[in-house]
Amino acid sequence: MMSAQIIAGKKISDMIREEIQKEAAELREKGVVPGLAVVLVGEDPASKVYVGSKEKACQQLGFHSEVHRLEEQTSEEQLLALIDQLNNDDKINGILVQLPLPKHINEKAVIDAIHVDKDVDGFHPESVGNLVIGDDSLLPCTPAGVIELIKRSGVDIAGKHAVVIGRSNIVGKPVAMLLLRENATVTICHSRTANMEELAKQADILVVAIGKAKAIDSKYVKPGAIVIDVGINRLPDGKLAGDVDYEDCLETAGFITPVPGGVGPMTITMLMNNTITAAKRAHKIGE
């Protein structure tokens, strides 16, 4: 029986970090130190871990790193004042506000306040617009990581039918745009799609980002397809599971990402890549 090739996200992510490390060293020789500011508001345990990982990645790559840990009660005005300060700080090339924010803060107002040139999350409306019209912008990290995983698995995207399940602003919509940019024919499915199983089964490339543990099984997978699982769900037993029923799809898929160890590790690596890009642009160094 055939079994899918497992896409080792951690290994691919480590390879890209080596490339970034070399680029960072070259930039330092030119007197440029990429700088990332991460802002964390509140005590969300998962966010604390992710912010710690971002700080560690900056240290390993020799970036200038600042982490602003603000208390839960921080007002929107205080947060916007900090962003204004970081927008005007030449040491800082990238600003990332860790999401989710506490409920009393308007996420959109905060994202809109980040200068587009420092928007290393790629969430600013101008970055999103640039992505849609195909102009150069900093790409959202998880979607950019998905494209890297597909390419580095040796799968050609051009001419393929890609089906994206999920239409969030953070993953589903941008990943669909990136696949289109790579010349795939793209279908987006969502909670109101009538014939999702039928559509998904036509996909050469299936990307799932719905935030529902093990919701997609082998009935949705075309034999030999590449299946990219963006979901990270905590199960009642404390283990992590993706949106795809991994075990069930192993025999049908041609390639598949595991959770953990698939798309997740790429998110922070692509953030580091965006920070390098932003630093080069700020110092007018060609890409």
Q: Summarize as ranges the residues that interact with ligand LMY7XDAE (CB under 6 A).
A: 50, 96-99, 121, 141-142, 232, 240, 259-261, 264-265, 267-268
Residue 31 — φ and ψ, nearest 5°?
Answer: 85, 15
Tokens of 213: 């543990």
**243 Cβ contact partners less than 8 Å away, ≥ 6 residues apart:** 165, 166, 208, 209, 210, 211, 212, 213, 214, 215, 216, 229, 230, 231, 233
Nearest by Cα to 263 from 210, 207, 224, 219: 207
Shortest Å distance, C-beta 198 to ligand LMY7XDAE: 29
State yes or no: 13 annotated in a binding site: no
Specify whether 5 is catalytic. Answer: no
Nearest by Cα to 228 from 160, 140, 167, 147: 147
Pairing, β 161-165 against β 185-189: parallel
Shortest Å distance, C-beta 55 to ligand LMY7XDAE: 12
Residue 99 or 180 with smaller CB distance to ligand LMY7XDAE: 99
State yes or no: 192 annotated in a binding site: no
Shortest Å distance, C-beta 286 to ligand LMY7XDAE: 27
Residue pair 149/228 in contact (Cβ under 8 Å)? The answer is yes
Specify whether 11 is catalytic. Answer: no
Out of 117, 119, 121, 243, pick the active-site residue: 121
Residue pair 265/9 in contact (Cβ under 8 Å)? The answer is yes
Radius of gyration over every alpha carbon of the chain, rounded to an integer in angstroms? 19
Q: Is 15 exposed, middle or buried (0-12, 13-18, 19+ CB in 10 A)?
A: middle
What is the spatial distance between Cα 164 and Cα 186, in angstroms, rounded to a whole number? 7
Residue 18 — φ and ψ, nearest 5°?
Answer: -60, -40
Residue 203 or 230 with smaller CB distance to ligand LMY7XDAE: 230
Out of 98, 117, 222, 229, pick the active-site residue: 98
Specify whether 121 is catalytic. Answer: yes
Tokens of 197: 């199983």
Shortest Å distance, C-beta 109 to ligand LMY7XDAE: 15
Residue 30 or 56 with smaller CB distance to ligand LMY7XDAE: 56
Q: Hey, what amino acid is at 7?
A: I
What is the spatial distance between Cα 166 and Cα 175, in angstroms, rounded to a whole number? 10
Shortest Å distance, C-beta 145 to ligand LMY7XDAE: 9
Residue sitting closest to ligand LMY7XDAE (CB)? 264
State yes or no: 168 annotated in a binding site: yes
Shortest Å distance, C-beta 26 to ligand LMY7XDAE: 26
Q: Binding site residues for NADP(+), as ranges? A: 166-168, 232
Q: Binding site residues, as ranges? A: 166-168, 232
**Residues labelled catalytic:** 54, 98, 121
